[in-house]
Amino acid sequence: MDAFNPTPPLWTQSAIHAWSFCCPTCRALTADAKQVWINRRSPVFMEDHRRKWQEFYQCQCGTVWWAWSSDRPPLDRAKSESQEDTA
């Protein structure tokens, strides 16, 4: 499955909106998803002129959910920096 395929896969049709960036059923993170598809054909422009997309995930538990790309939590940079300091 190509996450950037312009045609949405059939499994995305049953997706529910997740308000936090994880599976709304089992709270699994995106890295645990069985499949991913990003709707890059229809970006939404925010007030600051940045774009956001719908990201669709099929979870291991069977739940299909989506969230806005702008809701993705920031990377834990502090953790990676502290690991570099100890290396």
pLDDT, residue 74, reads 84
What band does 86 get if pLDDT is binned at 50, 70 and 90? low
Distances (CA, A) of 80 to 28, 76, 85: 22, 7, 9
Over residues 3-15, mean pLDDT: 90
Could you tell me if 66 and 30 are in contact, meaning their C-beta atoms sit under 8 angstroms apart? no
Per-residue pLDDT tens over the stretch 19-45: 999 999 999 999 999 999 999 888 899
| CA R_g for the chain | 15
